[in-house]
C-alpha cells in the first residue's frame, strides 16, 4: 500500500537516487584510482584543467565500471557471509590477499576489467587518477562530471 508521503516526495527521491548514484560512482572511481596509482609522487604543480573530452571519457569509464564493481561486490559478499567486506584496493596486495581464494580471483578479475575499461574509454591510468583526485577538491569539476553522468544515463545507447 502506498503512503501519501510516497506520492508527494517521489521527485525528491528521484533526486536523492541520482545523487547517490553519482556519489557511489565517484567512490568507485576513488577505489579504481588507488588501483592505478603505482607510485605516490607528490606534484607541487597545479594540474592542467580537465577538458570536456576527458570529462566525457572519465564519466563513460566510471559508468562502464559500475556494473562490474557491483557484480564483483555481490559475488564477494556471498563468499564472505560472516560480515562486512574489507576495503579492496587493486594495487594493495594485502587487501586482496586477505580475501578467500575465490574472492581474490573475483577481485583480480574486476581490477583487470576496470583497467581495460579505462583504456577503452581513451584515458591513461594517470589521466584517470588525476581526474579522480581533482574531483575531491574541485567543485566545478565535480559538477561537470555529475552533469555528464546524468546526460550519459539519459541518452539512449546507439544500436
Per-residue pLDDT of the chain (159 residues; tens, 9 = 90+): 444 434 344 455 555 545 555 555 555 555 554 544 443 444 445 556 889 999 999 999 999 999 999 999 999 988 887 777 778 877 678 888 888 899 999 999 998 999 899 999 999 877 887 898 899 999 999 999 999 999 999 866 665
Round the CA-based radius of gyration of the chain to a whole number and report it: 18
Q: What is the pLDDT of residue 99?
A: 86
pTM over 0.75: no
Q: Is position 39 within any domain?
A: no
Q: Is position 23 within any domain?
A: no
Q: What is the pLDDT of residue 25?
A: 55
Q: Is position 156 within any domain?
A: yes
Q: Is position 106 within any domain?
A: yes
Q: Is position 151 within any domain?
A: yes
Q: Is position 114 within any domain?
A: yes
Q: Is position 25 within any domain?
A: no
Say which residues have a Cβ less than 8 Å from residue 47's Cβ, sequence separation at least 6.
Answer: 130, 134
- Domain with 150, as residue range(s), is 50-159
| Phi, psi (degrees; rounded to nearest 5) at 63 | -65, -40
**What whole-number distance in Å separates Cα of residue 59 and Cα of residue 29?**
10
Q: What is the pLDDT of residue 93?
A: 82
Give me the number of domains the chain comprises: 1
Give me the helices (H) in the chain, please.
4-8, 10-36, 52-79, 93-97, 101-120, 125-135, 139-154
Burial of 32 (0-12, 13-18, 19+ CB in 10 A): buried
Q: Residue 142's CB: how many other CB atoms inside 10 A?
A: 15
Amino acid at each position: 500500500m502506498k503512503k501519501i508521503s510516497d506520492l508527494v516526495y517521489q521527485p525528491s527521491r528521484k533526486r536523492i537516487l541520482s545523487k547517490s548514484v553519482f556519489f557511489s560512482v565517484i567512490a568507485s572511481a576513488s577505489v579504481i584510482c588507488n588501483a592505478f596509482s603505482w607510485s605516490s609522487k607528490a606534484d607541487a604543480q597545479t594540474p592542467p584543467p580537465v577538458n570536456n573530452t576527458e570529462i566525457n571519457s572519465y564519466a563513460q569509464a566510471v559508468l562502464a565500471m559500475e556494473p562490474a564493481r557491483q557484480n564483483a561486490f555481490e559475488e564477494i559478499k556471498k563468499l564472505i557471509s560472516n560480515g562486512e567486506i574489507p576495503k579492496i584496493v587493486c594495487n594493495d596486495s594485502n587487501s586482496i590477499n586477505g580475501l578467500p581464494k575465490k574472492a581474490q580471483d573475483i577481485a583480480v578479475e574486476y581490477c583487470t576489467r576496470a583497467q581495460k575499461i579505462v583504456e577503452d574509454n581513451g584515458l591513461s591510468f594517470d589521466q584517470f587518477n588525476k581526474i579522480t583526485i581533482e574531483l575531491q577538491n574541485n567543485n566545478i569539476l565535480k559538477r561537470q562530471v555529475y552533469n555528464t553522468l546524468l546526460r550519459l544515463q539519459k541518452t539512449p545507447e546507439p544500436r
